[in-house]
Structure 1
Amino acid sequence: MELEKLRKELAKVDSKIVYLLEQRKNTVLKIGKIKELKGIHMVQKEREQKTLQRLVKQTNVDPKIVKKIYFILFSYSHKLQKKKRYY
């Protein structure tokens, strides 16, 4: 059935998203450690805005959705870096 096939495809995409979120988290922690060692502020709003602008241009997904998702990701990154749970 076409519906089941599409659902399996979606499940694979979701698994990839979760895997990429884990990779992003690990990279954020490494960046946080470097920022701390170099005395760089953890939160860099200008960089976040440039990232959002770049990502919105790369996709046909509604920009509001991209911004909402990345607001959550940025907030999580700030939380991780403030806890100083580096690997």
Structure 2
Amino acid sequence: MSLKLVFLGRLEDVAGHGEIALDIAGPLTLSEIAERLEPQLAVAISAANVRIALNGSLVSPGGWTAGNGDELAFLPPVSGG
């Protein structure tokens, strides 16, 4: 089973990749996913201003799980003008 993580903007720089595939045994919460990542990346994706999309739909930081075949995209705040 596999879960796809997508990192956009500055989070891609922190991750070192635009995407990571996690091998999973079952559905995971955000905190369980963060535990499997490098500490610096775990902190970055857990920031209050990072939005999360599960299979293309924005979700709140808690109250969901991601499982086999799901895609989680982490969206940092945008800046510019």
Provide TM-score, normalisation by structure 1: 0.24
User: Which structure is larger by alpha-carbon Rg, 1 or 2?
Assistant: 1
Q: Comparing both structures, which one devotes a greater share of its residues to strand?
A: 2
Provide TM-score, normalisation by structure 2: 0.26
Q: Comparing both structures, which one devotes a greater share of its residues to helix?
A: 1
